[in-house]
Amino acid sequence: MLKGYLSHLLFQNFGHQVLGLEVCKKFIDQAYKTQENLYPSCKNNVIFSELFVQIDSEKTIESLIEKHFGKNRRICLTGLHACADLSVTVLKLFSKMECVKALSIMPCCYHRTEVKEEMPEKTIFTNFPCSRTLKDIFERFEGETYLGTPFLRLACQDTYESFLELSEKDLETKTQALLFRAVLEFVAEDQNCTVKRLKRKSGKLTTTDGGLFFETHLNNLPSCHRLLAAPSSIPRDIDEPFLMEMRRKWEEYHTNITKRLAVSVYIALQALIQSVCENVVLVDRIEMVREYGYSCRLKRITDSKLSPRCWALVAVKDIQ
């Protein structure tokens, strides 16, 4: 939700009263500040409420709607870039809530989907697949053994169209970032550790100078990542011996033109198969809604260069 622009525009441009649900109070405060400064006419018609939306939130949502807008309202559920499991939860609420007649939601962050069970040979997610159709296919072909988190991460990469727009400098920056992550994970695994990221971003650096790029990210590493020692996942410091080993590995790969070129090829390959991966995720969700007995389709909302997650799931119920 962040500052609530979509909510305010829905009322200002179309007269739709809006109940915005957000788990983070800071964003609710920001949205009300936006309303006060830019959309004062929306007061009492655009309401924000703190709620962690879950599959059992049905009664709470209905009570909030009745409290602020009265009884017997016909509702459309909507979300702009609903992260991870939230979009699947909203699809399920759409099917459960009698007052909800329509839905339009843009999902994102597929790789953050909740892991139900993880083993060395397979990964089982709570909400992927979510349709009976794909679950049957998974069971037949043991999909959980190869369609894991890396597959979902591929599904939410930049699109092929965005890749074609990359300059030589942009591609080099992406290559160095991927190589840095690969070196980090390689050294961690070699020392029987896994890597946990503490921040979403480690800081942007657009230089093509490999040495400067590496040292800057290396200096940021202890504040942005943590090592978890196997098998007990006990936190371990990123100490100087670990950093020295990363430097050694970086030199081995970064100075090898063939290996660096291979990384660029992998980036191109990711771009080529991204849409295939994303389509599997989106069609699975469409099929789930259809299995509930409602029509559902995909609609492109934005240019993929503006936002790679440019698809909305649109569903409607028959309105008597």
Pairwise CA distance, residues 84 & 80, whole Å: 12
Determine the pLDDT at residue 118.
Answer: 84
Q: What is each CA distance from 165 to 11, 93, 147, 160, 305, in whole angstroms? A: 36, 39, 28, 9, 9
Determine the pLDDT at residue 90.
Answer: 96
pLDDT tens per residue across span 280-301: 999 999 999 999 999 999 999 9
Place of tokens 């959980």: 144
Packing angle, helices 257-291 and 168-190, rounded to 10: 90
Domain with CATH 3.40.50.150 in the chain: 5-113+288-316
The residue among 9, 5, 65 whose CA lies nearest residue 33 is: 5
Q: What is each CA distance from 63 to 19, 44, 102, in whole angstroms? A: 11, 16, 19
- Give every residue of the chain whose pLDDT is below 50, as ranges: none
CATH code reported for the domain at 5-113+288-316: 3.40.50.150
Pairwise CA distance, residues 64 & 74, whole Å: 14
The residue among 96, 76, 58 whose CA lies nearest residue 17 is: 76
Global pTM value = 0.85
Residue 97 burial by Cβ neighbours in a 10 Å radius (0-12, 13-18, 19+): middle
Pairwise CA distance, residues 270 & 191, whole Å: 28
For the chain, what's the residue count?
Answer: 320
